[in-house]
């Protein structure tokens, strides 16, 4: 593997030490199939850590649109793959992992034999198109490797990747009708007008370049490619599915449908024909670039100059070994499979977004060069500010510092002069609520984890500019009134609560940088959560412009009640910046504890989630919704009451219910690693309740022990004495020989290295 690729993918320190620390292979514990069915939305294909190429099978071609309206069935295919499906349509190069909305699915390749078919066919009649039936008995999914038998074509498909290149290997039968279909129409969350333009140029009998521009979730997105075969094709061609064109120019002078070197249009499928011997392997290298076709070609030649499939596979799996060994745990096979699959999930996104020479296309549609950092994209910040980025601040500090730098580059290129909300591929998607990038920046800076060149005061100024953007989703009203009126938006309460938390994070950053005026402004704003609490009902509740609370209100409902992806029962507990203040607001310790107990033990009738896409009964315990992120801190709130042992009890209850080593083993969308980050922290015994603070709340570890191998060369070791499925209660915690007086540890406790010992029992203190 070339040195540049290693520099991008590996931590910049202690590569040799990481090799020496390995005690066992951890890749075998990774199961990419976990979460592929129902709520997981995880794809099972091949990728290296944080890779730009994420090569995976597509199991159907569901349209986002049906009879002029949204097609709800498309939601199942956010990652392109459904475990229950019986057919595969092909293998595409870009995916989201565990998101509740989608895009991508670029450049689908499908190998076939027999009569050429350029449509995908249907699941009930797979022979009507190029798709093929398959069986899970003939399917293997590992970190950076996927293999499946395409039964209808008698082809074995294998794939692996580098950061920017997908490597396909197809073992064909003997055939005079062997085809590689390149479907440039296919995509995830697809609809008729999503493709803006497509271009393909055949350079020679084994090399093709091109690009596709789409308008989807990312509305202005162009992705370039370079495709190379290990064997010359004997024929090529295409079919165009564009609407009837009023103007066609004068290209009709050529016969373009076969062996023509240049193709352009909106809806195109191409093919490349071969003659194969029994067992012959047709190999394809497929590189992508956000900048240019030349950039894609350079990415290919730099990252995978040869044709050794096994070497690329092994190199990628070695990268995964290095990543997984950042935390080494002891425990039974199921715990290890859950833990290291969770580690794998947390290291899929965010994704590298630049060529090997550092160039990338920014939000301003200009080409930029990342100087001194790796540029990243795929920031699902409503989810990942909670635990994923705090996890990176421990095990991936250099990479997270680069992500912070990427967010600052986003701010500099933003026409709206805002930090990212949900960004992908040089685009802002504006999905979900809050401005949680400010919390990611604050958390990293407060923990001393930024690149040397980052101007800290400029970072704070970017946070403040984002939080003062008056015309963005009620911020003006929030500033003026201290809450967002119900008349302004259907998610007025959750927005108010989330803005208040982000404002607290800004205040912490301002305090660190001695910007007292900013601190006073935003610490005051952070108390705005109190302004939507209705003491009469005991819930956070929509408040009208005149200051009164909305009369008609159901705290169990998630529909039209002022909240995004949650109900008032759960969101009422969303003030992680001020648990003591929240407890006082809700009537004191006893009432608060009773409320928490009720949340976990009450029954939520089906009618309250049967109309929602993003949650099912699998993601709910009582009325506690673990499958959606706003409640991820809730079980830890007992630590601020006189019953911290209930946190320990709840955590150990949640872990085995919400995380299982099965295709439907996640209790909700993984949301680019947030669900998995919660598992990692909680199974180790601590959690970042309020990112932006240097404190972690402790819980109850599920592992038998763990060692965190830090980038600074130190280790933080967790010992668990008297561990067992019933021994969920912590009797005492000892850090470096001293008993901890409170259920918390600091970030410096972890990063300075040392030993933390939990003493467990089956009875609480």
What the block records as the tokens of 5 is: 């690729």
- Residue 678's φ and ψ, nearest 5 degrees, are -60, -45
Last residue of a domain, one of 512, 530, 548: 530
- Residue 525's φ and ψ, nearest 5 degrees, are -60, -30
What the block records as the tokens of 188 is: 């995830």
Find the domain containing 471 and state its range: 362-530
Distances (CA, A) of 632 to 139, 280, 555, 573, 650: 34, 51, 19, 10, 12
- Does the structure show a pLDDT above 50 at 284? yes
- Residue 43's φ and ψ, nearest 5 degrees, are -95, 150
- Residue at 568 is within a domain: no
Q: Do 269 and 382 fall within a single domain?
A: no
Condensed to tens digits (0 to 9), the pLDDT of residues 356-401 reads 999 999 999 999 999 999 999 999 999 999 999 999 999 999 999 9
Element of type H or E holding 431: none
Q: Do 167 and 306 fall within a single domain?
A: yes
- Does the structure show a pLDDT above 60 at 14? no
Give the CATH number for residue 81: 2.70.98.10
Q: Are strands 376-377 and 351-352 parallel, antiparallel or unpaired?
A: antiparallel
Q: Do 59 and 171 fall within a single domain?
A: yes
Q: Do 276 and 412 fall within a single domain?
A: no
The whole-number pLDDT of residue 114 equals 97
The whole-number pLDDT of residue 765 equals 85
Condensed to tens digits (0 to 9), the pLDDT of residues 714-757 reads 999 999 999 999 999 999 999 999 999 999 999 999 999 999 99
Phi-psi region of 679 (alpha: psi -120 to 50; beta: other; left: phi over 0): alpha
- Does the structure show a pLDDT above 60 at 53? yes
CA dihedral (508, 510, 512, 517) in degrees, to 10, reads -120
Condensed to tens digits (0 to 9), the pLDDT of residues 226-266 reads 999 999 999 999 999 998 889 989 999 999 999 999 999 99
Condensed to tens digits (0 to 9), the pLDDT of residues 622-666 reads 999 999 999 999 999 999 999 999 999 999 999 999 999 999 999
Q: Do 373 and 317 fall within a single domain?
A: no
Angle at 354 between CA 351 and CA 355, to 5 degrees: 125
Interatomic CA distance for residues 528 and 97, integer angstroms: 34
- Using a 10 angstrom Cβ sphere, with 0-12 exposed, 13-18 middle and 19 or more buried, the burial of residue 116 is middle
Q: Do 383 and 317 fall within a single domain?
A: no
Q: Do 94 and 205 fall within a single domain?
A: yes
Residues 239-255 as b/e (b if ≥16 CB within 10 A, e otherwise) read ebeeeeeeeeeeeeeee
Residue 18's pLDDT band, with cuts at 50, 70 and 90, is very low
What the block records as the tokens of 760 is: 């467990």
Helix, strand or coil, per DSSP, at residue 140: strand
The whole-number pLDDT of residue 495 equals 98
- Does the structure show a pLDDT above 90 at 612? no
- Residue at 699 is within a domain: no
Residue 310 exposure: Cα atoms within 13 Å on the Cβ side: 1
Looking at the chain, the whole-number percentage of residues with pLDDT higher than 90 is: 93
- Using a 10 angstrom Cβ sphere, with 0-12 exposed, 13-18 middle and 19 or more buried, the burial of residue 746 is middle
Interatomic CA distance for residues 31 and 338, integer angstroms: 8
Residue 200's pLDDT band, with cuts at 50, 70 and 90, is very high
CA dihedral (191, 192, 196, 197) in degrees, to 10, reads 120
Interatomic CA distance for residues 631 and 573, integer angstroms: 8
Number of domains observed in the structure of the chain: 2
Interatomic CA distance for residues 631 and 199, integer angstroms: 46
Residue predicted with more confidence, 687 or 612: 687
CB neighbours of residue 128 within 10 Å? 12
Q: Do 311 and 366 fall within a single domain?
A: no
| Contact between 447 and 393 (Cβ < 8 Å) | yes
- Does the structure show a pLDDT above 50 at 327? yes
- Does the structure show a pLDDT above 50 at 4? no
Number of alpha helices (DSSP H) and beta strands (DSSP E) in the chain: 19, 39
Interatomic CA distance for residues 697 and 744, integer angstroms: 4
Interatomic CA distance for residues 637 and 137, integer angstroms: 45
- Residue at 253 is within a domain: yes
- Residue at 597 is within a domain: no
Residue predicted with more confidence, 274 or 17: 274
Q: Do 276 and 369 fall within a single domain?
A: no
Last residue of a domain, one of 273, 304, 323: 323
Condensed to tens digits (0 to 9), the pLDDT of residues 105-140 reads 999 999 999 999 999 999 999 999 999 999 999 999
Residue-by-residue DSSP string for 221-289: EEEEEEEEESS--SEEEEEE-PPPPS--TTGGGS--SBS-SEEEESSEEEEEEEEE-TTPEEEEEEEEE
Condensed to tens digits (0 to 9), the pLDDT of residues 550-562 reads 999 999 999 999 9
Interatomic CA distance for residues 353 and 538, integer angstroms: 46
Q: What is the mean pLDDT of the chain?
A: 95
Interatomic CA distance for residues 290 and 223, integer angstroms: 5
Mean pLDDT lowest for which of 20-24, 88-92, 639-643? 20-24
- Residue 102's φ and ψ, nearest 5 degrees, are -155, 180
Q: Do 204 and 306 fall within a single domain?
A: yes
What the block records as the tokens of 624 is: 């506690």
| Contact between 449 and 397 (Cβ < 8 Å) | yes
- Does the structure show a pLDDT above 90 at 168? yes
The whole-number pLDDT of residue 20 equals 42
Mean pLDDT lowest for which of 43-57, 357-371, 660-674? 660-674
Q: Which residue has the tokens 């900013």?
A: 518
Beta strands in 661-728 (DSSP E): 686-687, 695-698, 705-709, 715-721
Residue 618's pLDDT band, with cuts at 50, 70 and 90, is confident
Interatomic CA distance for residues 400 and 313, integer angstroms: 26
- Residue at 16 is within a domain: yes
| Contact between 44 and 36 (Cβ < 8 Å) | yes
Q: Which residues face 686 on adjacent strands?
A: 698
Q: Which residues face 35 on adjacent strands?
A: none
Nearest to 640 by CA among 712, 548, 573: 573
- Residue at 687 is within a domain: no
- Residue at 85 is within a domain: yes
Last residue of a domain, one of 485, 504, 530: 530
Interatomic CA distance for residues 681 and 696, integer angstroms: 10
The secondary structure of residue 550, as a DSSP letter, is: P
Q: Do 63 and 117 fall within a single domain?
A: yes
Here the contacts of 416-422 (C-beta below 8 Å, separation 24 or greater) are 416/469, 416/472, 417/465, 417/466, 417/469, 418/465, 418/466, 418/469, 418/472, 419/462, 419/463, 419/466, 420/379, 420/381, 421/381, 421/382, 422/379, 422/380, 422/381, 422/382
The whole-number pLDDT of residue 534 equals 98
Q: Do 12 and 104 fall within a single domain?
A: yes
pTM comes to: 0.96
What the block records as the tokens of 313 is: 């596979």
- Residue at 477 is within a domain: yes
Give the CATH number for residue 413: 1.20.1050.60
């Amino acid at each position: 593997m070339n040195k540049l690729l290693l520099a991008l993918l590996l931590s910049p320190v202690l590569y040799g030490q990481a090799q020496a620390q390995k005690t066992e292979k951890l890749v075998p514990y990774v199961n990419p199939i976990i979460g592929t069915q129902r709520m997981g939305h995880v794809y099972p294909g091949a990728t290296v850590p944080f890779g730009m190429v994420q090569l995976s099978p597509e199991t159907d071609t569901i349209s986002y649109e049906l009879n002029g309206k949204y097609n709800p069935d498309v939601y199942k295919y956010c990652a392109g793959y459904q475990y229950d499906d019986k057919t595969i349509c092909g293998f595409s190069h870009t995916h989201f992992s565990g998101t509740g909305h989608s895009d991508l699915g670029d450049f689908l390749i499908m190998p076939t034999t027999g009569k050429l078919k350029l449509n995908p066919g249907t699941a009930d009649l797979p022979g009507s198109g190029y798709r093929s039936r398959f069986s899970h008995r003939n399917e293997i999914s590992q970190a950076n490797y996927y293999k499946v038998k395409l039964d209808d074509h008698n082809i074995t498909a294998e794939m692996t990747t580098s950061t920017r290149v997908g490597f396909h290997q197809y073992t064909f039968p003997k055939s005079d009708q062997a085809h590689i279909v390149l479907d440039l129409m296919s995509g995830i969350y697809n609809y008729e007008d999503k493709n803006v333009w497509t271009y393909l140029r055949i350079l020679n009998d084994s090399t093709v370049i091109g690009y596709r521009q789409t308008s989807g979730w990312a509305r202005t997105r162009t992705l370039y490619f370079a495709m190379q075969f290990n064997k010359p094709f004997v024929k090529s061609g295409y079919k165009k599915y564009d609407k009837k064109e009023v103007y066609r120019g004068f290209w009709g002078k050529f016969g373009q449908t076969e062996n023509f070197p240049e193709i352009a249009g909106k809806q195109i499928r191409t093919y490349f024909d071969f003659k194969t011997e029994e067992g012959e392997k047709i190999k394809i290298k497929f590189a992508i670039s956000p900048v240019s076709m030349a950039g894609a070609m350079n990415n290919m030649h730099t990252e995978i100059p040869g044709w050794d499939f096994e070497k690329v596979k092994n190199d990628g799996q070695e990268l995964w070994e290095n990543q997984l060994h950042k935390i080494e745990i002891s425990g039974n096979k199921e715990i290890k499979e859950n833990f290291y699959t969770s580690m794998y999930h947390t290291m899929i996104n965010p994704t590298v977004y630049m060529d090997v020479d550092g160039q990338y296309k920014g939000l301003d549609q200009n080409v930029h060069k990342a100087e001194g950092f790796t540029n990243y994209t795929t920031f699902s910040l409503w989810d990942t500010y909670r635990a994923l980025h705090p996890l990176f601040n421990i095990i991936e500090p250099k990479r997270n510092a680069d992500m912070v730098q990427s967010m600052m580059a986003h701010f500099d290129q933003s026409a709206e002069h805002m930090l990212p909300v949900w960004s992908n591929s040089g685009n802002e998607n504006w999905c979900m609520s809050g401005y949680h990038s400010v919390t990611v920046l604050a958390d990293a800076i407060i923990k001393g984890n930024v690149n040397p060149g980052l101007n800290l005061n400029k970072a704070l100024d970017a946070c403040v500019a984002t939080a003062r953007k008056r015309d963005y989703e009620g911020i003006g009203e929030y500033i003026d009134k201290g809450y967002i009126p119900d008349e302004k938006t259907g998610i007025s309460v959750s927005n108010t609560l989330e803005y208040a938390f982000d404002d607290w994070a800004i205040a912490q950053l301002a305090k660190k940088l001695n910007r007292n005026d900013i601190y006073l402004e935003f610490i005051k704003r952070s108390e705005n959560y109190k302004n939507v609490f209705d003491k009469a009902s005991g819930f956070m509740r929509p408040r009208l412009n005149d200051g009164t609370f909305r009369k008609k209100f159901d705290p169990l409902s998630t529909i039209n009640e002022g909240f995004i992806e949650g109900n008032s029962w759960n969101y009422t507990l969303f003030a992680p910046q001020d648990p003591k203040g929240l407890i006082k607001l809700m009537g004191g310790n006893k009432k608060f504890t009773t409320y928490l107990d009720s949340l976990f033990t009450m029954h939520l009738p089906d009618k309250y989630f049967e109309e929602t896409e993003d949650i099912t009964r699998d993601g709910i315990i009582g009325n506690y919704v673990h499958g959606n992120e706003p409640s991820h801190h809730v079980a830890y709130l007992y630590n601020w009451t006189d019953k911290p042992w209930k946190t320990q009890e709840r955590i150990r209850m949640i872990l085995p219910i919400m995380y299982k080593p099965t295709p439907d083993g996640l209790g909700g969308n993984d949301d680019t690693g947030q669900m998995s980050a919660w598992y990692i922290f909680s199974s180790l015994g601590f959690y970042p309740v309020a990112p932006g603070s240097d404190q972690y709340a402790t819980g109850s570890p599920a592992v038998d022990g763990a060692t965190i191998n830090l980038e600074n060369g130190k280790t933080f070791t967790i010992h668990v004495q008297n561990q067992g499925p019933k021994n969920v209660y912590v009797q005492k915690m000892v850090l470096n020989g001293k008993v901890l007086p409170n259920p918390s540890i600091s970030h410096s406790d972890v990063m300075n290295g040392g030993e933390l010992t939990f003493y467990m029992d089956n009875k609480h203190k």
